[in-house]
């Protein structure tokens, strides 16, 4: 009998070791921070509007808890160049995009630090993390942005148009300050989440323990930044039944929580919307778990697909579903670019082989799923050519159409959205004043979405 090589929760993390750079003893943490120069972390604003487009605190948490293993901190110049040229870390492990700590020349001068020093990073005035200053370097932000996402010339047919400021991920990199600090980070003050974040916080170590506790052998990850409609639900069920060896035991829904595009659903509704699927039993609760990762979406389609695979492997998943326009926005990439990536690789983007078939690549297995549609003749949800040939009758699950119904206060038909999910959206609309991300939500919400406990600290004199 063929045996599964890796079990859920036991699959090796990317790089072979799960990073944990969290100090859990308060007295030790307070000793570590004494006398360090402090730097207050703030959201990266859109230079034109002032609206937050990224918060480096999200990356600090994800590094410290091992979501981004094997990274232990922010990239040095050599690491950055290795990723931009070869999509590899310096030790050879596959890595898709830069993870950078940028700072203005003015702030760097005020800090008065040099290579070999440490900086205390504070959040809303409270000690949060320590950054080792291994290297201070400069690099053109727009060059980083363009090399990260690719060009039509280098990847014809995959990159369909040049990236510009309308692309959120390109804009995040392009508007960085141009001066960077590379070095390890140490989290000295653990985040304290409010609900619904608190009950759904499963960092990799905890996620892996939960999978083992539940006896799951094969777990497939579902990447999401949306409230689920019925099409999403059927894609999850279909993908769960199509592991490479046998059906998966469970689905791990992992929502990306962070800065979003205008018009996206609010984070609270995304999490509780997926939780509603569980509680209502549309997917067997014993085979379904909702979690989240702190990360500001880059909308990098095939490039970000590799990062998502790394994150979910680190969380203990054995499989990952990828669909049309995975993590995409607009028409910058070919809509099935992620399929090509996992089947052949995309040399024009630096992936010369499929990410799970290359040396020092990912171990998680991709499950490629087509778009879910409704066929009125069959009277059921179909997955394009896999189900029937009534192509002229197929009806798409239109996110825009669902949003237009919701904004009018009209409940979508249950064939499109479960009533329990709609009620969640209405609940958060009432609480937050909007069901979708708008300027008020982005500027008034707590970012990042957690608090910190006070710490005894004596600043550098």
Nearest Cα neighbor of 298 from 100, 440, 154, 121 is 100
User: Hey, how many other C-beta atoms are within 10 angstroms of the C-beta on 72?
Assistant: 19
Do both 217 and 182 map to the same domain?
A: no
Do both 177 and 221 map to the same domain?
A: no
Mark which of 192, 227, 254 sits at the end of a domain: 192
- Tell me the per-residue pLDDT of 52-111, one tens digit each, with 9 for 90 and over: 999 999 999 999 999 999 999 999 999 999 999 999 999 999 999 999 999 999 999 999
Name the token pair of 103: 């700072």
Higher pLDDT, 402 or 168: 168
The pLDDT, as a whole number, for residue 63 is: 98
Residue 118 pLDDT more than 60? yes
Mark which of 192, 213, 234 sits at the end of a domain: 192
Q: Is residue 98 part of a domain?
A: yes
Q: Is residue 268 part of a domain?
A: yes
Rounded to the nearest angstrom, the gap between the alpha carbon of residue 94 and the centroid of all alpha carbons in its chain is 17
Q: What's the whole-number mean pLDDT along residues 249-264?
A: 92
Contact 418, 426 (CB under 8 A): no
Q: What's the whole-number mean pLDDT along residues 435-448?
A: 87
Q: What's the whole-number mean pLDDT along residues 300-318?
A: 98
The pLDDT, as a whole number, for residue 2 is: 40
Contact 175, 53 (CB under 8 A): yes
Query: Residue 325: is it exposed, middle or buried by C-beta count within 10 angstroms (0-12/13-18/19+)?
Result: middle
Distance (Å, rounded) from C-alpha 349 to C-alpha 341?
10
Residue 165 phi/psi, 5-degree rounding, is -65, -10
Do both 179 and 238 map to the same domain?
A: no
Q: Is residue 459 part of a domain?
A: no
Q: Is residue 423 part of a domain?
A: yes
Give the domain CATH number at 261.
3.40.50.620
Q: What's the whole-number mean pLDDT along residues 277-292?
A: 95
Give the domain CATH number at 91.
3.10.400.10
Compute CA distances 332 → 151, 152, 265, 329, 349, whole Å. Answer: 10, 9, 22, 7, 13
Do both 169 and 318 map to the same domain?
A: no
Distance (Å, rounded) from C-alpha 229 to C-alpha 398?
10
The pLDDT, as a whole number, for residue 262 is: 86
Structure confidence at residue 239 as a pLDDT band (50, 70, 90): confident
Structure confidence at residue 244 as a pLDDT band (50, 70, 90): low
Structure confidence at residue 305 as a pLDDT band (50, 70, 90): very high
User: Hey, how many other C-beta atoms are within 10 angstroms of the C-beta on 260?
Assistant: 22
Do both 168 and 257 map to the same domain?
A: no
Mark which of 128, 161, 192 sits at the end of a domain: 192
Sign of the Cα pseudo-torsion (255, 259, 260, 265, in order): positive
Structure confidence at residue 1 as a pLDDT band (50, 70, 90): very low
Residue 227 pLDDT more than 80? yes
Contact 300, 149 (CB under 8 A): yes
In the chain, % of residues over pLDDT 90: 78
- Tell me the per-residue pLDDT of 21-60, one tens digit each, with 9 for 90 and over: 999 999 999 999 999 999 999 999 999 999 999 999 999 9
Structure confidence at residue 4 as a pLDDT band (50, 70, 90): low
Lowest mean pLDDT among 210-214, 272-276, 456-460: 456-460
Do both 347 and 277 map to the same domain?
A: yes
Name the token pair of 142: 């727009």
Say if pTM beats, i.e. exceeds, 0.75: yes
Structure confidence at residue 119 as a pLDDT band (50, 70, 90): very high
Q: What's the whole-number mean pLDDT along residues 358-364?
A: 97
Do both 155 and 216 map to the same domain?
A: no
Do both 137 and 271 map to the same domain?
A: no
Could you list the residue range(s) of the whole structural domain that residue 206 is in?
194-444
Partners of 88 in the beta sheet? Answer: 94
Distance (Å, rounded) from C-alpha 177 to C-alpha 132?
19
Q: Is residue 456 part of a domain?
A: no
Q: How many domains is the chain built from?
A: 2
Do both 233 and 366 map to the same domain?
A: yes
Q: Is residue 9 part of a domain?
A: no
Q: Average model confidence (pLDDT) for the chain?
A: 93
Contact 128, 57 (CB under 8 A): yes
Q: Is residue 1 part of a domain?
A: no
Residue 254 pLDDT more than 80? yes
Residue 217 pLDDT more than 80? yes
Structure confidence at residue 400 as a pLDDT band (50, 70, 90): confident
Do both 272 and 404 map to the same domain?
A: yes
Residue 239 phi/psi, 5-degree rounding, is -65, -35
Core vs surface per residue 105-135: b (16+ CB within 10 A) or e: eeebeebebeeebbbbbbbeeebbbbbbbbb
Contact 309, 223 (CB under 8 A): no
Contact 15, 70 (CB under 8 A): yes
Q: Is residue 2 part of a domain?
A: no
Name the token pair of 114: 């040099």
Do both 48 and 87 map to the same domain?
A: yes
Name the token pair of 390: 């009534």
Residue with tokens 């922010």: 74
Do both 267 and 357 map to the same domain?
A: yes
Contact 72, 99 (CB under 8 A): no
């Amino acid at each position: 009998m063929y045996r599964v090589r890796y079990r859920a929760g036991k699959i090796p993390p990317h790089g072979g070791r799960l990073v944990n750079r969290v100090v859990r003893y308060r007295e030790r943490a307070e000793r570590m921070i004494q006398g360090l120069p402090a730097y207050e972390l703030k959201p990266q604003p859109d230079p034109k509007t002032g609206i937050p487009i990224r918060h480096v605190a999200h990356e600090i948490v994800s590094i410290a808890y091992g979501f981004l293993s094997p990274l232990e901190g922010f990239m040095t110049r050599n690491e950055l160049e290795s990723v931009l040229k070869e999509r590899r870390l310096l030790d050879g492990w596959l890595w898709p995009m830069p993870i950078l700590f940028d700072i203005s020349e003015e702030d760097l001068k005020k800090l008065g630090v040099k290579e070999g020093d440490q900086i205390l990073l504070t959040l809303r005035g409270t000690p949060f993390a320590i950054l080792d200053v291994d290297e201070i370097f400069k690099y053109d932000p727009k060059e980083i942005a363009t090399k990260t996402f690719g060009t039509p010339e280098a990847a014809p047919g995959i990159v369909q148009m040049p990236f510009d400021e309308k692309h959120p991920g390109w804009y995040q990199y392009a508007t960085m300050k141009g001066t960077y600090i590379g070095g390890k980070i140490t989290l000295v003050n653990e985040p304290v989440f409010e609900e619904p974040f608190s009950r759904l916080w499963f960092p990799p170590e905890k996620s892996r323990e939960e999978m083992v506790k539940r006896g799951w052998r094969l777990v497939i990850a579902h990447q999401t930044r949306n409230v689920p409609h019925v099409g999403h639900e059927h894609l999850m069920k279909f993908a769960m039944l199509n592991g490479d060896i046998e059906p998966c035991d469970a689905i791990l829904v992992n929502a990306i929580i962070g800065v979003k595009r205008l018009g996206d659903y609010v984070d609270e509704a995304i999490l509780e919307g997926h939780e509603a699927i569980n509680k209502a039993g549309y997917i067997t609760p014993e085979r379904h778990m909702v979690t989240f990762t702190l990360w500001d979406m880059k909308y990098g389609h095939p490039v970000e697909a590799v990062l998502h695979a790394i994150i979910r492997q680190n969380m203990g998943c054995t499989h990952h579903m990828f669909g049309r326009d995975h993590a995409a926005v607009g028409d910058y990439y070919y809509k099935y670019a992620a399929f090509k990536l996992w089947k052949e690789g995309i040399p024009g983007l630096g992936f010369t082989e499929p990410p799970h078939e290359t040396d020092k690549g990912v171990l998680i297995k991709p499950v490629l799923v087509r778009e879910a549609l409704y066929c009125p003749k069959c009277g059921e949800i179909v997955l394009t050519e896999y189900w029937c040939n009534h192509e002229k009758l197929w009806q798409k699950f239109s996110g825009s159409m669902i949003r237009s119904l919701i904004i009018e206060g009209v409940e979508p038909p249950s064939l499109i959205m479960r009533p329990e999910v709609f009620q969640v959206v209405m609940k958060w609309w009432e609480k937050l004043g909007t069901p979708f991300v708008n300027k008020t939500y982005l500027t008034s919400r707590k970012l990042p979405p957690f608090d910190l406990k006070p710490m005894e600290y004596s600043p550098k004199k």
